[in-house]
Structure 1
């Protein structure tokens, strides 16, 4: 019988609160955890994702990510949780590291304050969807969605999401049809739907967001690193907030669990050349799971 310690961490916290819960398991290689055991642990933890950290022969670490129902190629908030805890427990010091994920080899930087910044894959734009198709998924009128004059687009920086602009004031009115959303995501090979409304000029927040991924067992998520990296690329592509490469997104408001995600997008004359997502995390608890 194996006794596995799992750290429960809130990632992308704002002023010491909010964030998105993730499980973190160190030394997954030493414990010789199988894929089935990782899935069982993630199911027992019940967080949207659990990260398993292992040593790697070529780079610093290998990370794998499991929802309660399946493995996913990458998870931003679980990466943040894992590296933040490695720093706070003394497994690493500040500096730059390389993690192997199923999405890619990606850089992670930790500054002396423990702030973690994660590199993401360069964006892939996989097509535009109709307002009518999305309207029935989220309970808003197609004409209302069209009034943003921005497209609904599938974009990936490691995980493919449907990026959906919402007119200001309507984000909290979304009512997801879970069965339809699950079927739609499966058909279009996306992890979920990331809706946003641009903030007004009186705030430093670029946009407020909501994220839904029922295909992988997540009804709604309070902070998503990968999806907000994708959103920053979408906004850059379409010339929104074009005067700055820095974006700040809030998420989780509708869940009463406000989170803050920072993104920097670097571009040159050929397009986007670097995407980095950052935030803070804190340990909430730990638990032992017996297999």
Structure 2
């Protein structure tokens, strides 16, 4: 049995303020670990996601994301955190590319004022005419309408206060797996607000969910008649996302704050 030291960073994503936004652990690798080892590290970290990446011979960073419970197909905030680590600790500057099976290539740019921009596929949701009973009864406040994309059900409210005050019935929402639930409404200070519940896939409520804004941004762009939007995810930690929508892509930008740099000691 041999031991090795792996670098690890914990980054607060989609915020300029420490202890806000969504925490992600980032573990750069030279070679892939076993899935069981990566899941064990993610479970030990007990954060929304832990991202692992390996730079391939073409210079693309192949990335995988793990919640404390399972591997996740698509995670925006941990991609943002990984880009921050690559730009600030691994010597890359300007533009880089990630690749993941579920979303293909994610191009990332450094922008002004400390922002990092990610290019996601447009995952606009479609209207749900017949919603599951667990969805209808799993939210304490009845929404105006429901939508759905590859990732989650969208519960759309008239009022920002409804989004902030709704209480999820986690037992019922868990039965909707593999889909999660996002609640959303227009906002006076921002363009729209949201909260994200994912009891079957990662935890009770995700602090800030970059991936779901690949669906939220095109939904609100169409409804509000504007292509550039500013969003607030109104969790306890909260986070701000800057969104721009094109026909095929959704560009999500955010800031990061570094909380921790350390090493993991593992035996394999």
TM-score (norm. length: structure 2): 0.90
Counterpart residue number, 1:107:
107
Q: Structure 1 residue 241 and structure 2 residue 224: aligned?
A: yes
Counterpart residue number, 1:261:
241
Deviation at 1:85, TM superposition (A): 1.6
SS in structure 2 opposite 1:215?
coil
Contact 1:61 1:100 in 2 (8 A): yes
- Aligned residue runs from structure 1 range 138-287, under 5 A: 138-141=139-142, 145-146=143-144, 151-156=145-150, 160-168=151-159, 169-184=161-176, 186=177, 189-190=178-179, 192-200=180-188, 203=189, 205-236=190-221, 239-242=222-225, 244-253=226-235, 255=236, 257-266=237-246, 272-287=247-262
Q: Structure 1 residue 60 and structure 2 residue 52: aligned?
A: no
Counterpart residue number, 2:24:
22
Deviation at 1:4, TM superposition (A): 2.3
Deviation at 1:68, TM superposition (A): 0.8
Contact 1:263 1:276 in 2 (8 A): yes
Contact 2:124 2:214 in 1 (8 A): no
Deviation at 1:17, TM superposition (A): 5.5
Q: 1:175 to 1:161 in 2, by over 3 A?
A: same
Contact 1:84 1:115 in 2 (8 A): no
Contact 1:63 1:100 in 2 (8 A): yes
What is the distance in 2 between the residues matched to 1:246 and 1:15?
Answer: 23
- Aligned residue runs from structure 1 range 92-103, under 5 A: 92-94=92-94, 96-103=95-102
- Aligned residue runs from structure 1 range 65-104, under 5 A: 65-94=65-94, 96-103=95-102, 104=104
Deviation at 1:222, TM superposition (A): 1.3
Counterpart residue number, 1:45:
45
Counterpart residue number, 2:136:
135
TM-score (norm. length: structure 1): 0.83
Relative to structure 2, which stretch is displaced further, 172-181 or 109-118? Answer: 109-118
What is the distance in 1 between the residues matched to 2:118 and 2:11?
Answer: 17
Contact 2:197 2:206 in 1 (8 A): yes
Contact 1:87 1:114 in 2 (8 A): no
Q: 1:85 to 1:114 in 2, by over 3 A?
A: farther
Contact 2:124 2:215 in 1 (8 A): no
What is the distance in 2 between the residues matched to 1:131 and 1:20?
Answer: 30
- State the aligned residue count: 261
SS in structure 1 opposite 2:47?
coil
Counterpart residue number, 2:263:
288
Q: Unpaired runs of 5+ in structure 1? A: 267-271
Deviation at 1:278, TM superposition (A): 0.8
Cα deviation, 1:31-82, whole Å, max 9, x if unaligned, reads x411111111111111100111211233521111111111112210000001
Deviation at 1:131, TM superposition (A): 6.2
What is the distance in 1 between the residues matched to 2:119 and 2:129?
Answer: 27
Identify which of 10, 21, 29 aligns with 2:12: 10
What is the distance in 2 between the residues matched to 1:245 and 1:214?
Answer: 32
SS in structure 1 opposite 2:208?
coil
